[in-house]
C-alpha cells in the first residue's frame, strides 16, 4: 500500500512539473491543437499551480475551457535581448513590427468572428494614421513589399500565439499581391493576452510614456510583509526568466533578501520545475537538465553557432574589455581558418560584421557578455567557455 501511494504521489508530482514547465515555456496554451494534452494537465493541477505562481512570482494563471494563460511579467522592461521573432524565419521584430502587432490586436478586438488578411491590413493602415504615431516616426501605408512582409510576420506571430486560426489562404500570396487569407479570431485567447499588473482602463495619465510606465509599475509596498513579498516575486521571476542572476545587478535590499532566503527560493523553484541551482560567488543560475526552457541555446550547430563558441572562447581568455573592431578581425580570421566547414559566404567581405553581431546578441541574451559602446566586456559566467593549458599527468604505478 505504501509503495502504491508513493507511486501515485510521484506521478502527480511529475504531472505538476510537466504542467509548470509547459506554462513557463509557452505561457499561452490552447485547448484545441498541439497543446491540448498540456492544457489537460494544467487544468488538473490548476489550483496548485495558481497558488504557487501567485505566492512566488505574483503571476496570474487563467485557466478555462479554451486557454491556459500564465500572465508573466518580465523583471526588466528595458531588456531587448529576447525580442519577438517571426515564427517561420526567426527574423527579429523591428520597432514597426511591434507597433503593427499592437495595432493588429486593437483591430481584432473590434473585429467580427472572422477576418481576412486584406481587411486586417486596411484597418491597420487607418489606425497607423494616428497623428501621435506619425509624429513618432511610425508610418504604414502598405505601399511597399517590405511593409507587407512586416505585417505578415506579425500575423504569423498571432497565429503562433493562437489569437488567429487560419481557415483558408496563404500569407505569402498576400505579400505577392495575388491572394489573401481568412482567419478565425480566437476571442478567449485575445482577451487573455495582455499581461500587466494593472488594467489599461484604470490608468488616468494622458501622455503615452506615462501610460506605459503606469501600465507596468507595481503599487508601492506599505508594510514590511509586502516589501518582502515584492522582493520574493522579483527574485523568483529573475531566476526563472534570466539565464544568470548576478549579485552585482541587484540593489542592496534584493541582495540582502537573496542572501538570507537563497536556499528557500531556489528549493521551491527546483521542486516545481526540476531546474537545478548553480550557486557561484558572483550569482546564481537555474540550470535546466532537459534544456527546453530557453529560447536561446549554446552551443548551436552551423556557422553562427560555431562562430559564437569561438568568440566566447576568445572573450573568456581576454584580459579586460575587447574593442568591437578587434572582434570583427578575430571572426574574419576564424572564417578563413574554417572555410571548409562554414557556409560559403562567411568569408565574403564584411560577413564578419554580421557574424559578430549575431554571436554577441546570443552571448548578451545568455548574460555572458555586456556591451558598453564599442567595447565588449566578459561577464563571470563566460569563464566556463575558457580553455586552459592542457596538463599531462603521469600514470600512477
Q: Which of these ranges, 66-70, 158-162, 324-328, 392-396, has the smallest mean pLDDT?
A: 392-396
At residue 295, the pLDDT reads: 82
3-state DSSP of 11-63: HHHHHHHHHHHHHHHCCEEECCCCCHHHHHHHHHCHHHHHHHHHHHCCCEEEE
Other residues' Cβ atoms within 10 Å of the Cβ of residue 17 = 17
Across 315-327, average pLDDT: 95
C-alpha cell at 182: 481568412
Distance CA 79, CA 126 (A): 31
For the beta sheet containing 276-279, the strands, ordered from the edge strand earlier in sequence to the opposite edge, are 245-246, 283-287, 276-279
At residue 60, the pLDDT reads: 94
Band (390; pLDDT cuts 50, 70, 90): low
Band (61; pLDDT cuts 50, 70, 90): very high
At residue 1, the pLDDT reads: 53
C-alpha cell at 244: 544568470
Distance CA 106, CA 95 (A): 17
Distance CA 148, CA 303 (A): 30
Band (200; pLDDT cuts 50, 70, 90): confident
Tell me what percent of the residues of the chain surpass a pLDDT of 90.
74
* Helix H or strand E encompassing 112: none
Across 310-328, average pLDDT: 95
Q: Which of these ranges, 106-110, 168-172, 195-199, 323-327, has the smallest mean pLDDT?
A: 195-199
Question: Model confidence over 219-272: pLDDT tens digits?
Answer: 788 899 999 999 999 999 999 999 999 999 999 999 999 999 999 999 999 999
Distance CA 47, CA 292 (A): 25
Phi, psi (rounded to 5 degrees) for 90: 65, 20
Band (3; pLDDT cuts 50, 70, 90): low
Angle at 87 between CA 154 and CA 119, to 5 degrees: 30
pTM for this model (two decimals): 0.89
Question: Model confidence over 330-369: pLDDT tens digits?
Answer: 999 999 999 999 999 999 999 999 999 999 999 999 999 9
Whether residue 6 is predicted with pLDDT greater than 60 in this model: the reply is no
Tell me what percent of the residues of the chain surpass a pLDDT of 70.
95
Across 35-54, average pLDDT: 96
What the chain holds in terms of domains, given with CATH numbers, is: 2-71 (no CATH), 95-192 (1.10.10), 224-287 (1.10.10), 302-385 (1.10.10)
At residue 287, the pLDDT reads: 93
3-state secondary structure of 393: coil
Mean pLDDT of the chain: 91
Whether residue 215 is predicted with pLDDT greater than 70 in this model: the reply is yes
Band (36; pLDDT cuts 50, 70, 90): very high
Distance CA 350, CA 209 (A): 38
Phi, psi (rounded to 5 degrees) for 143: -100, -20
Phi, psi (rounded to 5 degrees) for 10: -65, -40
Whether residue 76 is predicted with pLDDT greater than 80 in this model: the reply is no
Amino acid at each position: 500500500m505504501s509503495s502504491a501511494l508513493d507511486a501515485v504521489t510521484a506521478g502527480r508530482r511529475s504531472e505538476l512539473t510537466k504542467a509548470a514547465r509547459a506554462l513557463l515555456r509557452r505561457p499561452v496554451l490552447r485547448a484545441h491543437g498541439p497543446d491540448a494534452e498540456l492544457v489537460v494537465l494544467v487544468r488538473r493541477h490548476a489550483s496548485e499551480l495558481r497558488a504557487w505562481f501567485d505566492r512566488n512570482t505574483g503571476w496570474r494563471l487563467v485557466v478555462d475551457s479554451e486557454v491556459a494563460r500564465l500572465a508573466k511579467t518580465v523583471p526588466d522592461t528595458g531588456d531587448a535581448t529576447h525580442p519577438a521573432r517571426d515564427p517561420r524565419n526567426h527574423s527579429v521584430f523591428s520597432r514597426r513590427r511591434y507597433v503593427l502587432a499592437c495595432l493588429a490586436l486593437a483591430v481584432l478586438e473590434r473585429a467580427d468572428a472572422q477576418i481576412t488578411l486584406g481587411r486586417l491590413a486596411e484597418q491597420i493602415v487607418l489606425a497607423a494614421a494616428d497623428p501621435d504615431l506619425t509624429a513618432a516616426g511610425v508610418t504604414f501605408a502598405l505601399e511597399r513589399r517590405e511593409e507587407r512582409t512586416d505585417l505578415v510576420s506579425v500575423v504569423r506571430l498571432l497565429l503562433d500565439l493562437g489569437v488567429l486560426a487560419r481557415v483558408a489562404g496563404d500569407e505569402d500570396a498576400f505579400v505577392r499581391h495575388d491572394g489573401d487569407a481568412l482567419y478565425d479570431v480566437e476571442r478567449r485567447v485575445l482577451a487573455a493576452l495582455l499581461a500587466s499588473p494593472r488594467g489599461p482602463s484604470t490608468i488616468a495619465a494622458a501622455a503615452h510614456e506615462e501610460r506605459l510606465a503606469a501600465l507596468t509599475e507595481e503599487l508601492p509596498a506599505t508594510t514590511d510583509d509586502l516589501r518582502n513579498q515584492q522582493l520574493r516575486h522579483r527574485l523568483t521571476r529573475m531566476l526563472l526568466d534570466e539565464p544568470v542572476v548576478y549579485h552585482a545587478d541587484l540593489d542592496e535590499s534584493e541582495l540582502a533578501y537573496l542572501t538570507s532566503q537563497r536556499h528557500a527560493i531556489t528549493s521551491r523553484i527546483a521542486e516545481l520545475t526540476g531546474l537545478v541551482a548553480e550557486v557561484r560567488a558572483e550569482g546564481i543560475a537555474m540550470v535546466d537538465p532537459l534544456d527546453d526552457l530557453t529560447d536561446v541555446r549554446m552551443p548551436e550547430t552551423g556557422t553562427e553557432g560555431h562562430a559564437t563558441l569561438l568568440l566566447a572562447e576568445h572573450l573568456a581568455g581576454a584580459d579586460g574589455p575587447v574593442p568591437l573592431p578587434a572582434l570583427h578581425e578575430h571572426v574574419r580570421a576564424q572564417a578563413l581558418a574554417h572555410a571548409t566547414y562554414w557556409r560559403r559566404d562567411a568569408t565574403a567581405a564584411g560577413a564578419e560584421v554580421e557574424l559578430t553581431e549575431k554571436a554577441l546578441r546570443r552571448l548578451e541574451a545568455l548574460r555572458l557578455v555586456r556591451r558598453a559602446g564599442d567595447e565588449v566586456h566578459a561577464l563571470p559566467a563566460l569563464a566556463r567557455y575558457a580553455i586552459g593549458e592542457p596538463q599531462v599527468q603521469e600514470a600512477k604505478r
